[in-house]
Amino acid sequence: MNYLVHHLLQSSARRLPAKEALVHEDIRISYAEIDKYTNRLANGLLSADLKRGDRIGIFLDHSIQQVLSIYGISKAGAVFVPINPLLFPDQVRHIVNDCGITGIVTSHAMLDSLRQILPETPSVNFLITTEGVSNFSTIQHELSFEEIVDAGSSKPLQDVCIDKDLAAILYTSGSTGRPKGVMLSHANLLAGSSIVSSYLEITEQERILSILPFSFDYGLNQLLTAFEQGGTLALLSFRFPNEIVQTLVKERITGLAGVPTLWSLLAQPRSTFHRHQFPHLRYITNSGGDLPLEIMELLRKALPSTQIFRMYGLTEAFRSTYLPPDELELRPNSIGKTIPDTEILVVNENGELCKPGEVGELVHRGPTVSLGYWGQPEATDRVLRPNPFLPSELQDTEKVCYSGDLVKMDSEGFLYFVARRDTMIKSSGYRISPSEVEDVLFQSGKIREAAVIGIPDRILGHYILAFVAPHENEELRADELVDFCAQKMPRHMVPRQIEILKDLPKTGNGKVDYPTLHSRVKNSLSI
């Protein structure tokens, strides 16, 4: 019976021990090998004084060691926290301190980032590096990945957790403040894997190309579905579209997940994507933003025998809807219908269920609703609330997720995205907090006011526009501020444009008037 994350690996290792489970560049590794290796890793972690429930950060590029770490940490009864390798030191420090990470699995390539922050992360007491010890003087215990594995027995471990226990924390931006840690139980992750496997009809014949980071629930789910079904997962840290095309052909890939920016790159007229046939590619999926219709049409033309699934979801409740491929032509603007074992409610301002065609907030009910935000009970209570539509005797027994997304549902149950309720920006598949970008702008020391908004973009979803007001007598150049941001944040968070104003518009109570800023942009675009 599978009820913990690592059971997906163990089950496939018993059923298909010699089956190729992971591919990365020239490395190929079977289910039995991964199961044995992660037993040793888990036992080695326990010998390094790891405790049940400890949070362990995984700060690595897409790699086999990253996958081994996820399953080894799970087997040891700890909680894995994948950290996006694109993040900058200050962002990594926030994650480490926010959830009290006690150990980090990383590489020499990432040590420069960690070198800056570890003196300010008191919870970290051990570091595991994948290429051997680096003599990191500020860490109490530094071990190599191989040392940990060699120190551990290959004997299977006794499970200490149940499915309700915390398995992972994924950090995602909200509308305000720094990223929040979404707490996911083993049951949450297994439900998501089972649900997606069912409607994508994933089997042990699947060869899935993994490009998206495991710090993204969409990317993590690919790993879990592949291992649940006994398929093969090919890992790729791509830099150029041609690398994806070559891997699709070489590895006979059957499934690929992406975000709109990825599909836009592949669909470019000069892309080699158009010069190849992909007879094995059974399906592709899109999430993390709306797929422009013109890009979708290019994909349909290039992949006439491939099923295209449009999907919608949020980290706090994973996947909510999917649009079956045979509905693409009939409902090209729909985000689809409810996924299996889930109920989507559309609720109006009065807390009542909306009628067909009426706009309301998407509320997600089902087994993938997360445990909430680490260390933020008030923020959790705003998003996860008792189900108001249960009988009074049951209302305190179940939480549902209020997404903040405004949608409408037609008479056949298909949903259509309308707008965000808050100011959160979604760009390149990432959720971005305007206040987090504003905080970095203030760090330049050159401005006294800042406001960040998202501007609709057919490929990115939104691009980031910042308005700033300089200190008196401060000479300010927009390009210098953009360069400053680029040194502090990943590319997807850096403003595309910065507009310098003498003062930002204010509301009657002295707050920045964001609607006026949006109107300013609309007026300038219409001229």
Measured CA distances, 225 to 200, 273, 313 (Å)? 10, 26, 16
* 270 domain residue, yes or no: no
Residues 206/223, Cβ–Cβ less than 8 Å: no
Q: Looking at 420, 439, 468, which one is the last position of a domain?
A: 420
Q: Rounded distance, CA 253 to CA 311, Å?
A: 20
* 260 assigned to some structural domain: no
Sign of CA dihedral 444, 447, 448, 454: negative
Note the pLDDT tens digit of each residue in 12-58.
999 999 999 999 999 999 999 999 999 999 999 998 889 999 999 99
Q: How much of the chain exceeds pLDDT 90, in percent?
A: 63
- How far, in Å, CA of 498 to CA of 490, rounded? 17
Residue 470's CB: how many other CB atoms inside 10 A?
Answer: 18
Strand order in the sheet with 447-457: 447-457, 461-470, 497-500
Token readout for 190 is 């297994």
Exposed/middle/buried for residue 450 (C-beta within 10 Å: 0-12, 13-18, 19+): buried
CATH number of the domain where residue 498 is located: 3.30.300.30
Give the whole-angstrom CA distance, residue 68 versus residue 115.
Answer: 24
Which of 322-336, 385-399, 494-508 has the highest mean predicted lDDT (pLDDT)? Answer: 322-336
Please provide residue 516's backbone torsions phi and psi, each rounded to the nearest 5 degrees: -65, -40
pLDDT recorded at residue 140 = 60
Burial string for 127-162 (b: 16+ CB within 10 Å, else e) reads bbbbeeebeeeebeebbbbebbbebbeeeebeeebe
User: Pick from 420, 454, 469: which residue ends a domain?
Assistant: 420
pLDDT in tens, 335-371: 999 999 999 999 999 999 999 999 999 999 999 999 9
pLDDT score recorded for residue 510: 57
Which pLDDT band, with edges at 50, 70 and 90, does 523 fall under?
Answer: low
- Looking at the structure, do residues 412 and 440 belong to the same domain, yes or no? no
Residue-range definition of the domain harbouring residue 450: 425-526
Domain CATH for 51: 3.40.50.980
Give yes or no: residues 394 and 440 share one domain.
no
Let me know whether 316 and 408 are in one domain: yes
DSSP one-letter code for 473 = T
The residue among 399, 420, 441 that closes a domain is 420
Of all residues in the chain, the percent with pLDDT exceeding 70 is: 95
Q: Are 468 and 517 in contact (CB under 8 A)?
A: no
18 near 30, Cβ under 8 Å?
Answer: yes
- Domain match, 446 and 398 both: no
| CA–CA distance, 225 with 200 (Å, rounded to integer) | 10
Q: Is residue 492 part of a domain?
A: yes
> Same domain for 438 and 348?
no
The answer on 220 and 81 residing in a single domain is: yes
Residue 381: CATH number of its domain = 3.40.50.12780
Query: Does the pLDDT at position 442 exceed 90?
Result: no
For residues 61 and 201, membership in a common domain is answered with yes
Same domain, 403 and 435: no
Total number of domains constituting the chain: 3
DSSP 212: S
Please report whether residue 250 resides in a domain: no
Residue 450 domain-assigned (yes or no): yes
Q: Are residues 50 and 124 in the same domain?
A: yes
Residue 527 is predicted with a pLDDT of: 42
Do 393 and 436 lie in a common domain?
A: no
Q: Is 255 helix (H, G, I), strand (E, B) or coil?
A: strand
Is the domain of 289 the same as that of 407? Answer: yes
> Mean pLDDT, to the nearest integer, of 153-180?
88
Clarify whether residues 31 and 136 are in a common domain. yes
Question: Is 235 a domain residue?
Answer: no
